[in-house]
Amino acid sequence: MNKKIWTRTAYILTTILVFGVFLYLCFLPSFRNFVFEIENKTFDLRQNITSKYMNPSDKISIIEVDDESYEYIVDKFGSWPVPRVFWANLITNLEPSKPNMLIFDLLFLKRFTADGDSDLELIQAVNKNKNVYVSMNFDNYSKEVRTPPKLPLALQNNIENDFLIKTNPDLVYSNCRPILEEILNGTKNIGLINVQRDKDGIIRTMSPFSYYDGTYYKHLTILAGLDYLNISTNNFKLNKRGEIVLQDTLNKTQDTSGKKTILPLNSNGRVILNWYGPEWSFNYIPLWKVASAIEKGDKAFLENNFKDKIIFVGVTANSLSDIKSTPVSYMFPGVEVQATFLNNILDNNFIKKAPLAFDIVLAIFLAALIGFGVMNFKSPAKSVLMFFGVYTLYFILSTLLMLFFNVWISLTAPIMLGIFVFAAGYIAKYLITSRDYEHTYKLAVTDGLTEMFNHRYFQEQMTNNIQNAKRYGNVFSLIMVDIDFFKKFNDTYGHQSGDAVLRQVAQTIKRNIRSTDIPCRYGGEEMSVILTNTNKEDAIKTAIKICEAVRNKEFELATGDWTHVTISLGVATMPTDGDTTEKLIEYADKCLYVAKRNGRNQVVHDVPDDTPTE
């Protein structure tokens, strides 16, 4: 086969085999989970890079219950949580500064039995101010622990084509932690603050909707985002691309930029968040400073910090245990996660995962490029350089796509496939190189006419067999073969016919020995056979078998005629007849000389030491 065709065939077959192994692994759940987890880490890496260039909205501020504020509250009220009147006063005193929204990332659960008036003041403050938003939370507590409450119809939503949400067990809940009943029934500004973590505990996604008691409920930030965009609807539709387009179903109102605000859901029914920084990104104002400004009547401070702002109120103190792990930090306050979610809505800035088909095509293209490089670059260094160059550029491209277009293309699967193809290329290269080496070596040790091993190889094998015999106490034998009257044959029939007979005699010898024996062309018409692990008796039998096979065979000449030839054979065995290459050859030659002197066409194996060689 043409070497070029063989090379390409080897590459293709090896690549197909390795690609098949890769596909098989992809069907194993454990392998898919492994790839998925690594891919999530590459997402985190890219988010750490891109988040440095993302600017959070200056419309959002966070009033934080940090460690200092927690100490301030404990000193003032004696414990946490604080009396509800504190939050009522906060709402009442912030409203004159005209904040756009005041969103509580806090759960106002059950009544404080010791201070009912305090609860009442909070209820009145929340229900009176339509820009105040409060939280609730779903869970899966047993019905024996808590009876699942019925929620107001005003909080319920309809979603068409809801397969991505309703079928996802992480988004379906069986119970709810009810907030104060008067708030629950007195305002529509109530949303969920549930978060969903991946298997490694990292929050990368958020669910805009959750399913409870046969219907859907909005996340708190979706509720606030819709109100900010002046969209009033409880009816949503999931399109064929897995997107929910936020618009008023009655007047088709869209956001002020004229672009549709889209929630691109992934296969788990969640949106992928786009983070704004490795550190806390939004404008944080400690609660104790706000409380002090209220006490002092510092209206300028309140107006400067909160006018027209979307204000989140939440805890950041470590002791209050609302710290989350995100792609950009393992110590992220939960309220910042909620603010990031809302900021993504306002900026229409969610990450969109590229379709699986696109990732597959791209992975195959890159793998083919790597395979092409391995196949065409003779230098391993160039192949390795190309591999790292291609995937470094691919990583940069994927990061730029995430930064400028919010698109997440896979890194792990393409790189793994590239590694598989790279390995396949070098396996094929090794096979080809081995084949070429074997072919070259065969040419170097083979006689071109007879296709027996040549004289150099004969000498090497004699040395090896003698060393093994001395080391392990083995025996081996040597047969020297000479075609009778070959010079006269050449003179009579010509050298071409002589070559033809020489080639056919060699083939006859090879057919009558074992695969472990070593047939060689010693020189001219003289040939030899090294019989490994063979004693004198077995060597004689083999020599007689060869002699008879040649005698009985009819050989075709170059002219097309047929004739018979005979051979003479001498046998020597180590260590009986010698313990060096020279001595064994000399003894076998003496036997060969005796065979010729006694009439040829025979095997001789025993001669006196003083017998001369021919």
Q: Which two tokens stand for residue 425?
A: 């290329």
What is the Cα–Cα distance from 53 to 34, expressed in whole angstroms?
Answer: 30
Q: What is the dihedral of CA 124, 128, 133, 136, to 10 degrees?
A: 40
pLDDT at 254: 46
Q: Which residues pair with 521 in a beta bridge?
A: 527
pLDDT at 257: 47
Residue in this structure with the two tokens 């004739």, named with its chain if needed: 563
What is the Cα–Cα distance from 554 to 501, expressed in whole angstroms?
Answer: 10
What secondary structure, in 3-state letters, does 193-228 show? CCCECCCCCCCCEECCEEEECCEEEEEHHHHHHHHH
Give CA separation, 149 vs 180, 194, 277, in Å: 12, 17, 39
What is the Cα–Cα distance from 46 to 507, expressed in whole angstroms?
Answer: 68
Q: Is 237 exposed, middle or buried (0-12, 13-18, 19+ CB in 10 A)?
A: middle
What is the Cα–Cα distance from 590 to 580, expressed in whole angstroms?
Answer: 15
Where do the DSSP E strands lie in 269-319? 271-272, 283-286, 310-315
Average pLDDT per block of 10 residues along the chain, 614 residues long: 59 68 74 88 95 92 94 87 91 96 93 73 95 96 93 94 85 93 94 93 95 95 94 91 81 53 92 87 94 94 95 91 88 92 94 90 88 78 88 95 95 88 74 63 82 92 93 93 93 92 95 94 93 95 96 92 94 94 94 93 84 59
Confirm whether pTM is higher than 0.85.
no
